[in-house]
Every structure is written in C-alpha cells, then in structure tokens.
C-alpha cells in the first residue's frame, strides 16, 4: 500500500481533471455518436469517478469504496466542499468492515450529497472490507461483489438506458 499511497498523494485534481476530460472527449469523438458515458472507479478510482461527475457531462458515476472523497489522514485533500459541482447521479458502494474508510467518512459523504441536493444511492455491504471487489485480495467478498455489481448494472441501466 505504501508505494501506491505515495503515488496517489502525488496526483493532483487538476491533473486528474485533465485526464478525465481527455478520456471523455476521446470516448465521445471515437463513438461516432453521442452515447451516454458513465464513470466507475474502485478505491482511488472511486474518487476519480466522483470527480468525473463534477468535471464532465457523464450520465452517472459509480464509486466503490472511494478513498479521498471524505477527509482522511492519508490525503491532504477531499471533495466534500465541491459536491455542489456534481451534475450526475452517484452510486456509492462501501464496505461495512472497511478500516480505511470509516462509517463517519461514509456519513460525511451522504450528508454532503444531501446538503448539495444531489441524487445518489449509498450502499453499505456490512460484512465487506475495503477492496471487497478485488478477487486478488484477502479482503475479497464474493457475495458483496456480486450484489454490488448487480446494483451497479441496475443503476447504469436506469441512468444510461
């Protein structure tokens, strides 16, 4: 985790935003038609999915155990004060046993979404830990992953057609 955390701390929101916009533009220009685009991310990518809903016209975004969305000692920044910029429905998937993203962090995210009057779903998988979707980790929870993926597919279908 230490090398990954050092890399994550070196990334800036400006750099991520540039990458997100370039990716969105590429998808729109290469499709030949304006198709709905959604963003899905895991851990740091969950934060990127949330940032994409602030910076591009994605149809919706899905954040799995998104680190760095709420304040955390490992991150110097968070996104809570930018939730007014979110323009797409969000699905947040959290692990109830996550020792990295605490229940109070999840609560901060849901309270900030409500305060910004943004549409969202927040799903906690009570017996899942951080990284529960990754089948290469000891924290993998196949039941939670299956249920979260079914919810993700339904969310995408509802918002992208």
Which domains occur in the chain, in start order? Answer: 2-160 (3.40.50.1820)
How many CA atoms lie less than 13 Å away from 142 in the CB half-sphere? 2
pLDDT at 118: 98
For residue range 101-135, what is the model confidence (pLDDT) as tens digits? Answer: 999 999 999 999 999 999 999 999 999 999 999 99
DSSP helix/strand/coil, 91: strand
pLDDT at 76: 74
pTM for the full predicted model = 0.94
Q: Are strands 60-64 and 120-125 parallel, antiparallel or unpaired?
A: unpaired
Tokens 């279908």 found at: 157
Q: How many residues does the chain have?
A: 161
For residue range 80-96, what is the model confidence (pLDDT) as tens digits? Answer: 999 999 999 999 999 99
* Phi and psi, residue 48, nearest 5°: -65, -40
Mean pLDDT of 60-65: 98
Q: Residue 33: pLDDT above 70?
A: no
Terminal CA-CA length for the chain: 37
């Amino acid at each position: 985790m230490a090398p990954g955390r050092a890399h994550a701390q070196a990334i800036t929101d400006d750099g991520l935003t540039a990458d997100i916009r370039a990716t969105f533009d590429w998808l729109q220009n290469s499709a030949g038609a304006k198709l709905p685009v959604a963003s899905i991310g895991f851990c740091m990518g969950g934060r990127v999915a949330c940032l994409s809903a602030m910076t591009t016209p994605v149809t919706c975004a899905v954040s799995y155990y998104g680190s760095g969305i709420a304040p955390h000692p490992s991150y110097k920044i968070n996104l809570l004060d930018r939730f007014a910029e979110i323009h797409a429905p969000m699905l947040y998937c959290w692990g109830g046993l996550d020792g990295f993203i605490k229940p109070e962090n999840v609560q901060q995210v849901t309270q900030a979404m409500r305060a910004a009057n943004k549409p969202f779903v927040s799903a906690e998988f009570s017996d899942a830990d951080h990284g529960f979707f990754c089948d290469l980790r000891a924290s993998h929870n196949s039941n939670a992953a299956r249920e979260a993926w079914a919810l993700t597919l339904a969310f995408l279908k509802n918002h992208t057609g």
